[in-house]
Amino acid sequence: MPQETYHGGPRSKIPWGPTINYENCTSCGKCADYCTLGVYETEEKDGKKRSLVKKPDNCVVFCRGCEEQCSAGAITFPSKKETRELIRKLQKTL
């Protein structure tokens, strides 16, 4: 079940989610198979499974599970430190 809030603030304001570098991606589809939260969608093309980040807000804040599945090193996330600071700032506006 995707999070709608994170520590009392709207999840949609927190820019945490995977980014795929298609220069490294081998279209193996493992990231999309691994994550059960609908963050990824898969596009079949020329017999390969190209993963697309369709719903980054469904990603669990600070999870990096799919990154470990990617042997091509094609998945990155925002800086944890910067995201924590942003969350702290958001909490002050609540």
Beta strand segments in 1-94, E: 5-6, 9-10, 19-20, 40-45, 48-53, 75-76
Please list every residue from 14 through 53 that binds ligand SF4, using CB under 6 A: 18, 20, 25-31, 34-35, 37, 39, 51
Angular region, 37: left φ>0, alpha ψ -120 to 50, beta rest: alpha
Q: Which position among 72, 86, 87, 90 is part of the footprint of ligand SF4 (CB under 6 A)?
A: 72
DSSP state of 87: H
Nearer to ligand SF4, 63 or 90 (CB): 63
Q: Which position among 55, 64, 86, 87 is part of the footprint of ligand SF4 (CB under 6 A)?
A: 64
CB of 84 to ligand SF4, least distance (A): 16
**All residues at 6 or more sequence positions from 5 whose CB lies less than 8 Å from its CB, including other chains:** 11
Give the three-class secondary structure for 45. Answer: strand
Total residues binding ligand SF4 (CB under 6 A)? 25
Task: Catalog residues that contact ligand SF4 under the rule CB under 6 A.
Answer: 18, 20, 25-31, 34-35, 37, 39, 51, 59-60, 63-66, 69-70, 72, 74-75
